[in-house]
Structure 1
Protein backbone atom coordinates (compact mmCIF):
# COMPACT_ATOMS: atom_id res chain seq x y z
CA UNK A 1 0.00 0.00 0.00
CA UNK A 2 0.96 3.62 -0.51
CA UNK A 3 0.88 6.27 2.20
CA UNK A 4 0.58 10.07 2.12
CA UNK A 5 0.21 12.79 4.73
CA UNK A 6 -3.09 14.65 4.76
CA UNK A 7 -3.39 17.40 7.34
CA UNK A 8 -0.91 15.70 9.62
CA UNK A 9 -2.61 12.29 9.33
CA UNK A 10 -1.00 9.28 7.66
CA UNK A 11 -3.46 7.95 5.07
CA UNK A 12 -2.84 4.54 3.53
CA UNK A 13 -4.40 3.53 0.23
CA UNK A 14 -4.21 1.13 -2.69
CA UNK A 15 -4.38 2.26 -6.31
CA UNK A 16 -4.81 -0.08 -9.25
CA UNK A 17 -5.55 0.23 -12.97
CA UNK A 18 -5.87 3.04 -15.50
CA UNK A 19 -8.88 4.98 -16.73
CA UNK A 20 -11.61 7.13 -15.23
CA UNK A 21 -11.08 7.17 -11.44
CA UNK A 22 -13.28 5.31 -8.97
CA UNK A 23 -12.79 5.97 -5.23
CA UNK A 24 -13.93 3.26 -2.79
CA UNK A 25 -15.01 4.21 0.75
CA UNK A 26 -15.31 1.32 3.21
CA UNK A 27 -17.69 0.96 6.12
CA UNK A 28 -17.08 0.97 9.85
CA UNK A 29 -14.88 -1.70 11.49
CA UNK A 30 -13.29 -2.22 8.10
CA UNK A 31 -10.59 -0.93 5.77
CA UNK A 32 -9.50 -1.06 2.13
CA UNK A 33 -9.06 -4.84 2.25
CA UNK A 34 -12.83 -5.26 1.98
CA UNK A 35 -12.54 -4.03 -1.63
CA UNK A 36 -10.16 -6.74 -2.88
CA UNK A 37 -12.55 -8.08 -5.52
CA UNK A 38 -13.40 -4.58 -6.73
CA UNK A 39 -9.75 -3.54 -6.95
CA UNK A 40 -8.89 -6.68 -8.89
CA UNK A 41 -11.89 -6.84 -11.20
CA UNK A 42 -12.77 -3.21 -11.97
CA UNK A 43 -9.20 -2.01 -12.52
CA UNK A 44 -9.24 -3.44 -16.07
CA UNK A 45 -11.18 -0.34 -17.17
CA UNK A 46 -10.85 2.16 -14.31
CA UNK A 47 -8.32 3.68 -11.94
CA UNK A 48 -9.59 2.16 -8.69
CA UNK A 49 -8.47 3.74 -5.41
CA UNK A 50 -9.38 2.37 -1.98
CA UNK A 51 -8.29 4.28 1.11
CA UNK A 52 -8.04 3.33 4.74
CA UNK A 53 -10.11 6.08 6.36
CA UNK A 54 -8.56 7.91 9.32
CA UNK A 55 -8.69 5.54 12.28
CA UNK A 56 -8.82 2.39 10.13
CA UNK A 57 -6.39 -0.12 8.66
CA UNK A 58 -2.90 1.30 8.19
CA UNK A 59 -4.01 4.93 8.50
CA UNK A 60 -3.40 7.02 11.60
CA UNK A 61 -6.05 7.68 14.23
CA UNK A 62 -7.73 11.09 13.98
CA UNK A 63 -8.54 13.24 17.02
CA UNK A 64 -11.60 11.89 18.81
CA UNK A 65 -13.31 15.20 17.96
CA UNK A 66 -13.26 14.21 14.25
CA UNK A 67 -16.74 14.12 12.72
CA UNK A 68 -18.21 13.39 9.29
CA UNK A 69 -17.38 16.86 7.83
CA UNK A 70 -13.75 16.29 8.90
CA UNK A 71 -13.69 12.92 7.13
CA UNK A 72 -15.09 14.63 4.02
CA UNK A 73 -12.48 17.39 4.14
CA UNK A 74 -9.75 14.79 4.53
CA UNK A 75 -11.14 12.87 1.56
CA UNK A 76 -11.17 16.01 -0.60
CA UNK A 77 -7.54 16.75 0.25
CA UNK A 78 -6.65 13.11 -0.39
CA UNK A 79 -8.28 13.11 -3.84
CA UNK A 80 -6.46 16.32 -4.77
CA UNK A 81 -3.12 15.12 -3.41
CA UNK A 82 -3.09 11.91 -5.43
CA UNK A 83 -4.22 13.74 -8.57
CA UNK A 84 -7.69 12.32 -9.25
CA UNK A 85 -9.96 14.44 -11.46
CA UNK A 86 -13.78 14.06 -11.35
CA UNK A 87 -13.80 10.61 -9.73
CA UNK A 88 -16.81 8.39 -9.30
CA UNK A 89 -17.36 7.98 -5.54
CA UNK A 90 -18.53 4.59 -4.21
CA UNK A 91 -19.24 4.16 -0.51
CA UNK A 92 -20.73 1.34 1.54
CA UNK A 93 -22.58 1.90 4.84
CA UNK A 94 -20.52 4.54 6.71
CA UNK A 95 -18.69 5.07 3.43
CA UNK A 96 -21.99 5.87 1.69
CA UNK A 97 -22.78 8.45 4.36
CA UNK A 98 -19.33 9.90 3.87
CA UNK A 99 -19.96 10.05 0.11
CA UNK A 100 -23.13 12.06 0.77
CA UNK A 101 -21.35 14.46 3.13
CA UNK A 102 -18.52 14.75 0.60
CA UNK A 103 -20.97 15.70 -2.14
CA UNK A 104 -22.65 18.16 0.22
CA UNK A 105 -19.35 19.96 0.85
CA UNK A 106 -17.71 19.45 -2.56
CA UNK A 107 -20.48 19.05 -5.16
CA UNK A 108 -18.25 19.85 -8.14
CA UNK A 109 -15.79 16.99 -7.50
CA UNK A 110 -17.79 13.74 -7.89
CA UNK A 111 -18.61 12.51 -11.38
CA UNK A 112 -21.26 10.25 -9.86
CA UNK A 113 -22.25 8.58 -6.59
CA UNK A 114 -22.68 4.89 -5.87
CA UNK A 115 -24.25 4.37 -2.46
CA UNK A 116 -24.31 0.79 -1.16
CA UNK A 117 -26.13 -0.30 2.01
CA UNK A 118 -26.58 3.40 2.60
CA UNK A 119 -27.96 5.68 5.27
CA UNK A 120 -28.44 9.45 5.32
CA UNK A 121 -26.46 9.21 8.55
CA UNK A 122 -27.96 7.23 11.42
CA UNK A 123 -29.91 10.24 12.67
CA UNK A 124 -31.14 10.82 9.13
CA UNK A 125 -32.38 7.27 8.61
CA UNK A 126 -33.10 5.55 11.94
CA UNK A 127 -35.40 6.23 14.92
CA UNK A 128 -33.70 8.19 17.74
CA UNK A 129 -33.92 5.31 20.20
CA UNK A 130 -32.21 2.96 17.75
CA UNK A 131 -29.48 5.52 17.08
CA UNK A 132 -28.79 5.88 20.81
CA UNK A 133 -28.82 2.11 21.32
CA UNK A 134 -26.35 1.53 18.48
CA UNK A 135 -24.10 4.32 19.68
CA UNK A 136 -23.94 3.20 23.31
CA UNK A 137 -23.52 -0.44 22.36
CA UNK A 138 -20.73 0.43 19.95
CA UNK A 139 -18.88 2.63 22.47
CA UNK A 140 -18.95 -0.26 24.95
CA UNK A 141 -17.80 -2.72 22.27
CA UNK A 142 -14.81 -0.52 21.39
CA UNK A 143 -13.30 -1.50 24.76
CA UNK A 144 -13.84 -5.25 24.29
CA UNK A 145 -11.36 -7.83 22.97
CA UNK A 146 -11.49 -7.94 19.16
CA UNK A 147 -12.80 -11.50 19.00
CA UNK A 148 -15.84 -10.51 21.06
CA UNK A 149 -16.58 -7.57 18.77
CA UNK A 150 -16.34 -9.81 15.71
CA UNK A 151 -18.76 -12.31 17.30
CA UNK A 152 -21.30 -9.53 17.85
CA UNK A 153 -21.02 -7.83 14.48
CA UNK A 154 -20.55 -10.54 11.85
CA UNK A 155 -24.04 -12.11 12.21
CA UNK A 156 -25.62 -8.71 11.50
CA UNK A 157 -23.70 -8.20 8.26
CA UNK A 158 -24.53 -11.32 6.21
CA UNK A 159 -27.27 -13.80 5.49
CA UNK A 160 -26.82 -17.20 7.12
CA UNK A 161 -25.90 -18.88 3.85
CA UNK A 162 -22.78 -16.74 3.29
CA UNK A 163 -19.60 -18.74 2.72
CA UNK A 164 -17.19 -19.48 5.55
CA UNK A 165 -14.41 -17.90 3.47
CA UNK A 166 -16.19 -14.54 3.39
CA UNK A 167 -16.82 -14.67 7.13
CA UNK A 168 -13.20 -15.56 7.86
CA UNK A 169 -11.82 -12.74 5.71
CA UNK A 170 -14.22 -10.24 7.26
CA UNK A 171 -13.35 -11.43 10.77
CA UNK A 172 -9.64 -10.85 10.11
CA UNK A 173 -10.27 -7.27 8.97
CA UNK A 174 -12.69 -6.48 11.78
CA UNK A 175 -10.45 -7.94 14.46
CA UNK A 176 -7.84 -5.30 13.64
CA UNK A 177 -10.16 -2.34 14.26
CA UNK A 178 -8.81 0.77 16.00
CA UNK A 179 -10.76 1.58 19.21
CA UNK A 180 -10.31 5.32 18.60
CA UNK A 181 -11.35 4.98 14.97
CA UNK A 182 -14.40 2.93 15.92
CA UNK A 183 -15.60 5.48 18.47
CA UNK A 184 -14.98 8.38 16.10
CA UNK A 185 -16.96 6.76 13.29
CA UNK A 186 -19.80 5.79 15.63
CA UNK A 187 -20.13 9.31 17.00
CA UNK A 188 -19.86 10.82 13.52
CA UNK A 189 -22.59 8.63 12.09
CA UNK A 190 -24.86 8.85 15.11
CA UNK A 191 -24.84 12.66 14.79
CA UNK A 192 -25.20 12.75 11.00
CA UNK A 193 -28.53 13.72 9.44
CA UNK A 194 -28.14 14.26 5.71
CA UNK A 195 -31.80 14.21 4.70
CA UNK A 196 -31.91 17.88 3.73
CA UNK A 197 -29.07 17.58 1.22
CA UNK A 198 -30.50 14.59 -0.67
CA UNK A 199 -32.68 16.67 -3.04
CA UNK A 200 -29.62 18.78 -3.95
CA UNK A 201 -27.82 15.85 -5.59
CA UNK A 202 -27.51 16.52 -9.34
CA UNK A 203 -25.06 13.81 -10.41
CA UNK A 204 -26.08 10.29 -11.52
CA UNK A 205 -26.55 8.16 -8.40
CA UNK A 206 -26.79 4.38 -8.07
CA UNK A 207 -28.31 2.91 -4.91
CA UNK A 208 -27.29 -0.71 -4.31
CA UNK A 209 -28.96 -2.57 -1.47
CA UNK A 210 -29.19 -6.11 -0.16
CA UNK A 211 -32.71 -7.48 0.06
CA UNK A 212 -31.95 -9.08 3.46
CA UNK A 213 -29.98 -6.17 4.97
CA UNK A 214 -30.51 -6.24 8.75
CA UNK A 215 -28.57 -3.07 9.55
CA UNK A 216 -30.03 -0.75 6.93
CA UNK A 217 -33.58 -1.98 6.24
CA UNK A 218 -35.18 -1.57 2.82
CA UNK A 219 -37.30 1.40 3.92
CA UNK A 220 -34.06 3.34 4.47
CA UNK A 221 -32.91 3.02 0.88
CA UNK A 222 -36.45 3.55 -0.42
CA UNK A 223 -36.48 6.92 1.37
CA UNK A 224 -33.11 7.79 -0.18
CA UNK A 225 -34.39 6.83 -3.61
CA UNK A 226 -37.49 9.00 -3.18
CA UNK A 227 -35.44 12.07 -2.26
CA UNK A 228 -32.53 11.74 -4.72
CA UNK A 229 -34.11 12.62 -8.06
CA UNK A 230 -31.11 11.40 -10.05
CA UNK A 231 -31.04 7.98 -8.37
CA UNK A 232 -31.57 4.48 -9.66
CA UNK A 233 -32.28 1.74 -7.11
CA UNK A 234 -31.06 -1.84 -7.50
CA UNK A 235 -32.01 -4.44 -4.88
CA UNK A 236 -29.74 -7.49 -4.89
CA UNK A 237 -31.76 -10.54 -3.82
CA UNK A 238 -30.97 -12.70 -0.80
CA UNK A 239 -27.91 -10.80 0.47
CA UNK A 240 -27.22 -8.71 3.55
CA UNK A 241 -25.41 -5.51 4.47
CA UNK A 242 -21.92 -6.27 3.11
CA UNK A 243 -23.10 -6.79 -0.46
CA UNK A 244 -19.71 -6.16 -2.09
CA UNK A 245 -18.28 -9.08 -0.10
CA UNK A 246 -21.29 -11.37 -0.14
CA UNK A 247 -22.29 -10.95 -3.79
CA UNK A 248 -19.21 -9.51 -5.54
CA UNK A 249 -20.16 -10.74 -9.02
CA UNK A 250 -23.57 -9.05 -8.99
CA UNK A 251 -22.18 -6.00 -7.20
CA UNK A 252 -19.33 -5.51 -9.65
CA UNK A 253 -21.59 -6.06 -12.67
CA UNK A 254 -23.99 -3.34 -11.48
CA UNK A 255 -21.13 -0.95 -10.71
CA UNK A 256 -19.43 -1.53 -14.07
CA UNK A 257 -22.67 -1.06 -16.01
CA UNK A 258 -23.37 2.19 -14.15
CA UNK A 259 -19.85 3.55 -14.64
CA UNK A 260 -19.85 2.78 -18.36
CA UNK A 261 -23.25 4.47 -18.72
CA UNK A 262 -21.93 7.60 -16.98
CA UNK A 263 -18.43 8.15 -18.42
Structure 2
Protein backbone atom coordinates (compact mmCIF):
# COMPACT_ATOMS: atom_id res chain seq x y z
CA UNK A 1 0.00 0.00 0.00
CA UNK A 2 1.05 3.59 -0.56
CA UNK A 3 0.36 6.82 1.30
CA UNK A 4 0.88 10.30 -0.14
CA UNK A 5 2.74 12.17 2.61
CA UNK A 6 4.95 15.26 2.38
CA UNK A 7 5.27 14.88 -1.40
CA UNK A 8 6.40 11.28 -0.96
CA UNK A 9 4.63 8.17 -2.25
CA UNK A 10 5.42 6.22 0.92
CA UNK A 11 5.13 2.42 0.74
CA UNK A 12 3.98 0.51 3.81
CA UNK A 13 2.69 -2.92 4.75
CA UNK A 14 0.53 -4.04 7.66
CA UNK A 15 0.85 -7.35 9.47
CA UNK A 16 -1.04 -8.84 12.40
CA UNK A 17 -3.74 -7.41 14.63
CA UNK A 18 -3.76 -5.55 17.92
CA UNK A 19 -2.35 -2.27 19.16
CA UNK A 20 -0.43 -0.42 16.42
CA UNK A 21 3.35 -0.73 16.25
CA UNK A 22 5.53 0.93 13.60
CA UNK A 23 8.81 -0.78 12.65
CA UNK A 24 11.49 1.38 10.98
CA UNK A 25 14.32 -0.26 9.02
CA UNK A 26 17.98 0.63 8.67
CA UNK A 27 19.85 2.41 5.90
CA UNK A 28 20.01 0.80 2.43
CA UNK A 29 17.35 -1.65 3.60
CA UNK A 30 13.57 -1.85 3.64
CA UNK A 31 10.83 -3.27 5.83
CA UNK A 32 12.11 -6.71 4.77
CA UNK A 33 14.98 -6.11 7.19
CA UNK A 34 12.62 -7.29 9.96
CA UNK A 35 11.79 -10.59 8.24
CA UNK A 36 13.38 -12.70 10.99
CA UNK A 37 11.48 -11.06 13.85
CA UNK A 38 8.31 -9.77 12.18
CA UNK A 39 6.25 -12.81 13.33
CA UNK A 40 7.18 -11.99 16.94
CA UNK A 41 6.17 -8.34 16.59
CA UNK A 42 2.96 -9.20 14.70
CA UNK A 43 1.79 -11.85 17.15
CA UNK A 44 -0.07 -9.32 19.30
CA UNK A 45 0.30 -6.06 17.36
CA UNK A 46 -0.88 -4.48 14.15
CA UNK A 47 2.55 -3.86 12.66
CA UNK A 48 2.99 -1.01 10.17
CA UNK A 49 6.13 -1.53 8.12
CA UNK A 50 7.10 1.50 5.99
CA UNK A 51 9.94 1.85 3.48
CA UNK A 52 11.66 5.18 4.20
CA UNK A 53 12.41 7.80 1.54
CA UNK A 54 14.41 6.38 -1.37
CA UNK A 55 14.47 2.90 0.19
CA UNK A 56 12.73 -0.30 -0.84
CA UNK A 57 9.47 0.37 -2.64
CA UNK A 58 9.40 4.09 -1.80
CA UNK A 59 10.82 6.07 -4.69
CA UNK A 60 13.11 8.99 -3.93
CA UNK A 61 12.02 12.61 -4.32
CA UNK A 62 13.93 15.84 -4.85
CA UNK A 63 15.07 16.52 -1.31
CA UNK A 64 18.06 15.39 0.74
CA UNK A 65 17.88 12.27 2.88
CA UNK A 66 17.56 13.55 6.41
CA UNK A 67 16.47 11.88 9.63
CA UNK A 68 14.31 14.83 10.74
CA UNK A 69 12.46 14.82 7.40
CA UNK A 70 11.93 11.06 7.63
CA UNK A 71 10.56 11.50 11.15
CA UNK A 72 8.11 14.06 9.78
CA UNK A 73 7.13 11.54 7.07
CA UNK A 74 6.27 8.92 9.69
CA UNK A 75 4.33 11.49 11.71
CA UNK A 76 2.34 12.27 8.55
CA UNK A 77 1.80 8.53 7.97
CA UNK A 78 0.43 8.22 11.52
CA UNK A 79 -2.09 10.97 10.69
CA UNK A 80 -2.88 9.44 7.30
CA UNK A 81 -3.70 6.08 8.89
CA UNK A 82 -5.58 7.65 11.80
CA UNK A 83 -3.40 5.85 14.35
CA UNK A 84 -3.73 6.76 18.02
CA UNK A 85 -0.25 7.07 19.51
CA UNK A 86 1.34 3.94 17.99
CA UNK A 87 4.51 2.59 19.53
CA UNK A 88 7.58 2.92 17.33
CA UNK A 89 10.58 0.56 17.08
CA UNK A 90 13.48 1.55 14.86
CA UNK A 91 16.90 0.12 14.01
CA UNK A 92 20.01 2.07 12.89
CA UNK A 93 18.70 4.74 10.48
CA UNK A 94 15.22 3.78 11.68
CA UNK A 95 16.41 4.07 15.28
CA UNK A 96 17.42 7.64 14.57
CA UNK A 97 14.05 8.33 12.94
CA UNK A 98 12.29 6.84 15.99
CA UNK A 99 14.29 9.07 18.32
CA UNK A 100 13.53 12.16 16.23
CA UNK A 101 9.85 11.24 16.32
CA UNK A 102 10.04 11.30 20.12
CA UNK A 103 11.68 14.73 19.93
CA UNK A 104 9.61 16.37 17.21
CA UNK A 105 6.20 14.68 17.50
CA UNK A 106 5.74 13.50 21.11
CA UNK A 107 1.98 13.94 20.84
CA UNK A 108 1.76 11.37 18.00
CA UNK A 109 3.62 8.38 19.48
CA UNK A 110 3.24 6.09 22.49
CA UNK A 111 6.48 4.36 23.42
CA UNK A 112 9.67 4.51 21.37
CA UNK A 113 12.51 2.00 20.98
CA UNK A 114 15.66 3.38 19.35
CA UNK A 115 18.01 0.58 18.32
CA UNK A 116 21.68 0.99 17.36
CA UNK A 117 21.47 4.73 16.73
CA UNK A 118 24.05 7.10 18.20
CA UNK A 119 23.02 10.63 19.07
CA UNK A 120 26.13 12.33 17.71
CA UNK A 121 28.32 11.52 14.75
CA UNK A 122 31.58 11.59 16.73
CA UNK A 123 30.41 8.63 18.85
CA UNK A 124 30.77 6.28 15.85
CA UNK A 125 34.07 4.40 15.63
CA UNK A 126 36.57 6.16 13.36
CA UNK A 127 37.00 3.18 11.06
CA UNK A 128 33.25 3.15 10.43
CA UNK A 129 33.23 6.89 9.70
CA UNK A 130 36.06 6.28 7.23
CA UNK A 131 34.02 3.54 5.54
CA UNK A 132 30.97 5.79 5.42
CA UNK A 133 33.11 8.40 3.68
CA UNK A 134 33.50 5.98 0.76
CA UNK A 135 29.75 5.62 0.20
CA UNK A 136 28.60 7.28 -3.02
CA UNK A 137 27.56 6.62 -6.59
CA UNK A 138 31.10 5.52 -7.47
CA UNK A 139 30.70 2.56 -5.09
CA UNK A 140 27.62 1.19 -6.88
CA UNK A 141 29.64 -1.21 -9.04
CA UNK A 142 31.37 -2.68 -5.98
CA UNK A 143 28.05 -3.24 -4.20
CA UNK A 144 26.46 -5.40 -6.89
CA UNK A 145 27.17 -8.57 -4.92
CA UNK A 146 25.61 -7.26 -1.70
CA UNK A 147 22.16 -8.04 -0.25
CA UNK A 148 21.37 -4.30 -0.29
CA UNK A 149 21.83 -4.12 -4.06
CA UNK A 150 19.85 -7.32 -4.64
CA UNK A 151 16.96 -5.99 -2.56
CA UNK A 152 16.93 -2.63 -4.31
CA UNK A 153 17.00 -4.18 -7.78
CA UNK A 154 14.15 -6.51 -6.83
CA UNK A 155 11.71 -4.04 -5.26
CA UNK A 156 12.59 -0.42 -6.07
CA UNK A 157 10.22 1.45 -8.43
CA UNK A 158 13.32 2.76 -10.25
CA UNK A 159 16.15 0.23 -9.83
CA UNK A 160 18.47 2.50 -11.81
CA UNK A 161 18.37 4.99 -8.91
CA UNK A 162 20.71 2.89 -6.73
CA UNK A 163 23.79 5.10 -7.39
CA UNK A 164 21.69 8.15 -6.52
CA UNK A 165 20.63 6.53 -3.24
CA UNK A 166 24.29 5.84 -2.41
CA UNK A 167 25.16 9.47 -3.14
CA UNK A 168 22.39 10.73 -0.87
CA UNK A 169 23.19 8.28 1.92
CA UNK A 170 26.86 9.25 1.71
CA UNK A 171 26.00 12.96 1.88
CA UNK A 172 23.68 12.36 4.84
CA UNK A 173 26.30 10.37 6.77
CA UNK A 174 28.88 13.12 6.19
CA UNK A 175 26.72 15.67 8.02
CA UNK A 176 27.71 16.34 11.60
CA UNK A 177 24.97 16.03 14.22
CA UNK A 178 24.61 16.12 17.99
CA UNK A 179 21.23 15.61 19.66
CA UNK A 180 22.50 15.77 23.25
CA UNK A 181 20.34 18.72 24.29
CA UNK A 182 17.26 17.41 22.47
CA UNK A 183 17.52 13.99 24.12
CA UNK A 184 17.40 15.61 27.56
CA UNK A 185 13.96 17.00 26.72
CA UNK A 186 12.35 13.76 25.48
CA UNK A 187 9.04 13.22 27.27
CA UNK A 188 7.95 10.03 25.48
CA UNK A 189 8.98 6.79 27.27
CA UNK A 190 12.05 5.72 25.29
CA UNK A 191 14.20 2.61 25.34
CA UNK A 192 17.77 2.74 24.06
CA UNK A 193 18.90 -0.61 22.59
CA UNK A 194 22.29 -1.61 21.18
CA UNK A 195 24.46 -4.63 20.52
CA UNK A 196 27.43 -5.03 22.84
CA UNK A 197 29.65 -4.74 19.72
CA UNK A 198 27.79 -2.01 17.82
CA UNK A 199 28.96 0.91 15.63
CA UNK A 200 29.32 3.02 18.79
CA UNK A 201 30.78 1.76 22.08
CA UNK A 202 28.36 0.56 24.76
CA UNK A 203 29.44 3.54 26.86
CA UNK A 204 27.78 5.87 24.35
CA UNK A 205 24.40 4.22 24.78
CA UNK A 206 24.86 4.30 28.56
CA UNK A 207 25.54 8.03 28.18
CA UNK A 208 22.29 8.47 26.23
CA UNK A 209 20.45 6.61 29.00
CA UNK A 210 22.07 9.02 31.44
CA UNK A 211 20.67 11.99 29.52
CA UNK A 212 17.25 10.36 30.00
CA UNK A 213 17.71 10.35 33.80
CA UNK A 214 18.98 6.77 33.84
CA UNK A 215 21.87 5.33 35.80
CA UNK A 216 22.12 8.07 38.41
CA UNK A 217 20.84 6.15 41.45
CA UNK A 218 19.65 2.80 42.69
CA UNK A 219 16.33 1.76 41.14
CA UNK A 220 14.71 0.95 44.47
CA UNK A 221 12.69 -2.05 45.64
CA UNK A 222 9.55 -0.75 43.92
CA UNK A 223 11.30 0.85 40.97
CA UNK A 224 10.91 4.28 42.52
CA UNK A 225 14.46 5.20 41.54
CA UNK A 226 14.12 4.35 37.87
CA UNK A 227 14.25 7.17 35.28
CA UNK A 228 11.37 9.57 35.84
CA UNK A 229 10.21 9.45 32.22
CA UNK A 230 9.84 5.66 32.11
CA UNK A 231 12.96 5.26 29.96
CA UNK A 232 15.06 2.09 29.72
CA UNK A 233 18.34 0.70 28.39
CA UNK A 234 19.19 -2.69 26.88
CA UNK A 235 22.67 -3.76 25.74
CA UNK A 236 22.26 -7.09 23.96
CA UNK A 237 25.07 -9.64 24.40
CA UNK A 238 26.97 -11.45 21.68
CA UNK A 239 25.62 -9.30 18.84
CA UNK A 240 26.83 -6.68 16.36
CA UNK A 241 25.28 -3.86 14.37
CA UNK A 242 24.90 -6.30 11.49
CA UNK A 243 22.86 -9.02 13.18
CA UNK A 244 21.17 -7.42 16.20
CA UNK A 245 17.93 -6.70 14.32
CA UNK A 246 17.63 -10.40 13.40
CA UNK A 247 17.97 -11.55 17.00
CA UNK A 248 14.94 -12.69 19.03
CA UNK A 249 16.57 -10.73 21.87
CA UNK A 250 15.94 -7.48 19.98
CA UNK A 251 12.26 -8.30 19.55
CA UNK A 252 11.98 -9.54 23.14
CA UNK A 253 13.34 -6.40 24.79
CA UNK A 254 11.45 -4.09 22.43
CA UNK A 255 8.14 -5.87 22.99
CA UNK A 256 8.68 -6.06 26.75
CA UNK A 257 9.14 -2.29 26.77
CA UNK A 258 6.28 -1.25 24.48
CA UNK A 259 3.85 -3.60 26.21
CA UNK A 260 4.53 -2.00 29.63
CA UNK A 261 1.60 0.36 29.46
CA UNK A 262 1.18 2.90 32.23
Q: Give TM class, smaller chain.
A: 0.7 to 0.9
Task: Number of aligned residue pairs: give it.
Answer: 239
Q: 1:11 to 1:207 in 2, by over 3 A?
A: same
Are the aligned partners of 1:54 and 1:181 in contact in 2 as well (CA < 8 Å)? no
Aligned runs of 1:2-13 on 2, under 5 Å? 2-13=1-12
Query: SS of 1:255's equivalent?
Result: helix
Instruction: Choose between structure 1 and 2 for higher RCO, CA contacts under 8 A separated by at least 6 residues.
Output: 1
Are the aligned partners of 1:22 and 1:46 in contact in 2 as well (CA < 8 Å)? yes
Comparing 220-229 with 84-93, greater Cα deviation is found at: 220-229
1:139 aligns to 2:136 (yes or no): yes
Aligned runs of 1:194-233 on 2, under 5 Å? 194-213=179-198, 215-229=199-213, 230=229, 231-233=231-233
Query: By how many angstroms is 1:43 displaced?
Result: 1.5
**TM-score of the superposition, structure 2-length normalised?**
0.80
Are the aligned partners of 2:34 and 2:246 in contact in 1 as well (CA < 8 Å)? no
**Equivalent-residue separation in structure 2 for 1:239 and 1:70 (angstroms):** 30
Q: 1:134 to 1:196 in 2, by over 3 A?
A: farther
1:187 aligns to 2:171 (yes or no): yes
Query: SS of 1:239's equivalent?
Result: strand
- Where structure 1 has 5 or more consecutive residues not aligned to the other structure, the ranges are 151-168
Query: By how many angstroms is 1:187 displaced?
Result: 2.9
**Equivalent-residue separation in structure 1 for 2:73 and 2:119 (angstroms):** 19
Query: By how many angstroms is 1:170 displaced?
Result: 6.8
RMSD of the alignment, in Å?
2.6
- What corresponds to 1:51 in structure 2? 50
Query: By how many angstroms is 1:30 displaced?
Result: 0.6
**TM-score of the superposition, structure 1-length normalised?**
0.80
**Equivalent-residue separation in structure 2 for 1:76 and 1:245 (angstroms):** 23
Pick the structure with more helix per residue: 1
Query: By how many angstroms is 1:31 displaced?
Result: 0.5
Query: By how many angstroms is 1:42 displaced?
Result: 1.9
1:108 aligns to 2:93 (yes or no): no
Residues 41-77 of structure 1 show CA distances to partners (whole Å, capped at 9, x for unaligned) of 2222111111100100011112243422221221111
1:239 aligns to 2:231 (yes or no): no
Residues 149-183 of structure 1 show CA distances to partners (whole Å, capped at 9, x for unaligned) of x3xxxxxxxxxxxxxxxxxx777437768333333
Aligned runs of 1:126-165 on 2, under 5 Å? 126=124, 133-139=130-136, 142-147=139-144, 150=146
Query: By how many angstroms is 1:15 displaced?
Result: 0.6
**Equivalent-residue separation in structure 2 for 1:72 and 1:31 (angstroms):** 16
**Equivalent-residue separation in structure 2 for 1:170 and 1:140 (angstroms):** 14
